[in-house]
């Protein structure tokens, strides 16, 4: 294991995206916020709810849904995904991990290494400075404080995986440039921060336009994060005035429960005359979209960094997703306002 150097950024011309980008993610909101990084460098960016989805795009993010799985199940799913034809054909291959290292990070990276073979470099950079996530001396910090259990150097000790320090966007850009110049091209591993750095090295492309459907907006908050709880509280003050429905799970007396989240998702999915959902938390988003028989969605833009929106596949719903811990106090209010503007102009 090494800590990747952060000095002497390579100067390089923008890379034209002529091969596909494949993002294999551990949860749905993570898949979406990573994919959103490529909106300005690809005509089409799609997020799929599972690897079996028959969708194709120059940038494709697949939710492997491994974050909450037992280690052996997660490892098997990751190994299969990285052994696939899609993974072998990708021009840029990206493994999305949680910026606070939730899930089976070390075990999944070992599975990726096994599938890809010993020669392909693996660069790990989970920093996302825009959301307060940084890496220093191989350790993850959140809002300037060391993350408990966040010592990547220790977690990946004995492997040939390169851990990259980054505290700023410019340092992530340097990592992206150096990685793109390597041969063979590495597996990039990180959060939306590194994905944005990679996309910034690609030549801009005009995205396809699309119209959002009309209808009511439902905001669904199932995340256990206190950040989402504060955002929901702020939205609740204006929900009636804005004619927005707010569905929220209260986790004050319960731990996370898969069956409860699934049932909650099915209830929210029955919201009448719904044209758009704002979904907070990966499990919640997956539950609602599965109940609505959505197999994928095409991204159209972002409300804030890491908070994308798009249109469902098959069409019929506008979708905005947000990781539970992302955003400021008014992020959900901003999501509603942006969707209203987009729907009004469609």
Whether residues 220 and 193 share a domain: the answer is no
Place of tokens 């503007």: 341
Whether residues 233 and 334 share a domain: the answer is yes
Task: Phi first, then psi: give them for residue 168, nearest 5 degrees.
Answer: -140, 165
The per-type count for the chain, helices as H runs and strands as E runs, is 12, 17
Place of tokens 């950040």: 227
Q: What is the pLDDT of residue 263?
A: 93
CATH of the domain at 232: 3.40.980.20
What band does 8 get if pLDDT is binned at 50, 70 and 90?
very low
Domain hosting residue 245, numbered range: 216-345
From CA 288, how far away is CA 221, in angstroms rounded? 11
Whether residues 179 and 39 share a domain: the answer is yes
Whether residues 183 and 244 share a domain: the answer is no
Among the three residues 145, 175, 200, which one is the final residue of a domain in this structure? 200
Average pLDDT, whole number, for the chain?
A: 91
Inter-residue contact 187 to 118 (CB < 8 Å):
no
Q: Give the mean model confidence (pLDDT) for residues 120-144.
A: 95
Whether residues 161 and 273 share a domain: the answer is no
The answer to whether residue 148 is domain-embedded is yes
Q: What is the reported pTM?
A: 0.91
The answer to whether residue 205 is domain-embedded is no
What band does 210 get if pLDDT is binned at 50, 70 and 90?
confident
Inter-residue contact 325 to 225 (CB < 8 Å):
yes
Query: Per-residue pLDDT tens for 222-251?
Result: 988 899 999 999 999 999 999 999 999 887
The answer to whether residue 192 is domain-embedded is yes
Query: Per-residue pLDDT tens for 153-167?
Result: 999 988 899 999 999
Query: Per-residue pLDDT tens for 292-315?
Result: 999 999 999 999 988 999 999 998
| Element (DSSP H or E) covering residue 93 | strand 92-96
Q: Is 177 a residue whose pLDDT tops 90?
A: yes
The answer to whether residue 206 is domain-embedded is no
Return the CA Rg of the chain. Answer: 19
User: Residue 327, by phi and psi: left (phi above 0), alpha (psi -120 to 50) or beta?
Assistant: left
Where is mean pLDDT largest: 2-11, 89-98, 254-263? 89-98
Q: What is the pLDDT of residue 67?
A: 93
Query: Per-residue pLDDT tens for 14-39?
Result: 555 556 999 999 999 999 999 999 99
Inter-residue contact 232 to 336 (CB < 8 Å):
no
The answer to whether residue 131 is domain-embedded is yes
pLDDT above 70 covers a percentage of the chain that reads: 93
């Amino acid at each position: 294991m090494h800590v990747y150097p952060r000095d002497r950024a390579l100067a390089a011309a923008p890379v034209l995206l002529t091969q596909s980008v494949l993002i294999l993610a551990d949860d749905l909101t993570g898949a979406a916020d990573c994919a959103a990084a490529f909106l300005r460098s690809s005509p089409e960016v799609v997020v799929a709810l599972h690897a079996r989805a028959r969708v194709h795009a120059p940038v494709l993010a697949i939710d492997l849904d491994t974050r909450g799985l037992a280690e052996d199940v997660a490892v098997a799913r990751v190994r299969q995904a990285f052994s696939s034809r899609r993974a072998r054909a990708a021009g840029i291959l990206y493994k999305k991990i949680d910026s606070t290292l939730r899930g089976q990070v070390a075990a999944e990276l070992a599975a990726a290494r096994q599938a890809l073979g010993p020669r392909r470099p693996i660069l790990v950079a989970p920093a996302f400075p825009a959301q307060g996530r940084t890496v220093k001396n191989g350790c993850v910090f959140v809002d300037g404080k060391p993350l408990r259990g966040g010592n990547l150097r220790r977690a990946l000790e004995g492997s040939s995986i390169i851990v990259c320090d980054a505290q700023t966007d410019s340092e992530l850009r340097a990592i992206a440039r150096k990685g793109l110049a390597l041969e063979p091209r590495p597996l990039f591993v990180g959060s939306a921060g590194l994905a944005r750095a990679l996309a910034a090295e690609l030549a801009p492309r005009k995205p396809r336009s699309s119209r959002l459907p009309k209808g009511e907006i439902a905001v669904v908050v199932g995340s256990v994060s206190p950040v989402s709880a504060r955002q929901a509280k702020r939205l609740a003050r204006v929900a009636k005035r804005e004619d927005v429905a707010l569905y929220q799970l209260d986790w004050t007396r319960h731990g996370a429960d898969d069956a409860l989240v699934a049932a909650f998702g099915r209830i929210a999915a029955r919201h009448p005359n719904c044209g758009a959902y704002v979904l907070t938390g990966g499990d919640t988003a997956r539950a609602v979209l599965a109940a609505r028989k959505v197999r994928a969605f095409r991204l159209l833009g972002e409300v804030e960094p890491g908070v994308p929106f798009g249109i469902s596949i098959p069409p019929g719903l506008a979708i905005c997703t947000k990781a539970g811990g992302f955003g400021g106090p008014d992020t959900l209010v901003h999501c509603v306002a942006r969707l209203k503007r987009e729907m009004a102009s469609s």
